[in-house]
Amino acid sequence: MTIIIALKDKKNKRIIFGSDRQYSQGIICGIVKNKIIEKKVNITDAYYNELDTKKIYLGLSGSGFISEILEYKFTPPDMNEKQTFMEYLYDDFLEELRTLLLDKKLTGTHKEVFDSGSNIIIVFEDEIYEVFSNFSVNKIQQEYTASGAGWEIAIGSLYTNLHYHKEMDRVEIVRQALTTCGVNTIYCDTNIDIKIIDYT
């Protein structure tokens, strides 16, 4: 299990993306290298000419093998310059990922609904998105989101520090939320990673 947090720092035009490093399987737990994955997406025109390359950041809670698939096996499809990112997620990115997972028989369906057994937080440019286990997508409207075993504890920590300790640095707010989850749940640890994603 996991804790993944994304917090938008509008004042400094950045998103703070953090996670713990623990994985667990039954009563066994261990450490993973990194739960935040960085991939590149080619932006193309109508004639498939490459115009630009942008980064997409993914943090996954749930089935650890999907993280490995995303990092080592999955190449994001090209994004058409006229697509919104939400259109790209539904029509291309998640459709290709779903096909790969089903073809490899790594996930399946539950009552005829696709079920990856995992949630993904995605950061792209200046926005945060949460992808649920059925691959439905929510564009986050508030400052932050959290996913994984400790998400309720994380939300409480984030809210408290953002509203009652307004002078606190946003990176420290994320660090404290991750640490609070690590201390207070058996499925998270205090060995944490934080990535700063700047945007313009």
Q: 139 lies in a domain?
A: yes
Q: 199 lies in a domain?
A: no
CATH number at residue 150: 3.60.20.10
The pLDDT of residue 168: 96
The string over 174-187, giving b where at least 16 C-beta atoms fall within 10 Å of a residue's C-beta and e elsewhere, is bbbbbbbbbeebeb
Q: 111 lies in a domain?
A: yes
**Other C-beta atoms lying within 10 Å of the C-beta of residue 142:** 11
The pLDDT of residue 159: 97
The pLDDT of residue 190: 96
Domain that holds residue 17: 3-190
Cα pseudo-dihedral 109, 128, 30, 171, rounded to 10: -170
Q: 154 lies in a domain?
A: yes
Q: 11 lies in a domain?
A: yes
The pLDDT averaged over each successive group of 10 residues in the chain (200 residues) is: 94 97 84 91 97 97 85 96 98 96 80 88 98 96 96 97 96 98 94 96
Max CA pair span of the chain: 53
The pLDDT of residue 169: 97
pLDDT in tens, 6-38: 999 999 999 999 999 998 877 888 888 889 999
* Count of structural domains within the chain: 1
CB contact set of 179 (below 8 Å; sequence gap of 6+):
190, 192
Please name every residue paired with 59 in a beta bridge, in sequence order, or none if there are none.
36, 121
The structure tokens listed for 167 are 């002078």
The pLDDT of residue 34: 83
Burial class (CB in 10 A: 0-12, 13-18, 19+), 160: middle
The structure tokens listed for 129 are 């998105």
Q: 77 lies in a domain?
A: yes
Q: 195 lies in a domain?
A: no
The pLDDT of residue 68: 87
Q: Check residue 46 and report its DSSP letter.
A: T
> Residue 179 and residue 84: Cα distance in Å, rounded?
35
Q: 98 lies in a domain?
A: yes
DSSP string, 130-159: EE-TTS-EEE--SSEEEEETTHHHHHHHHH
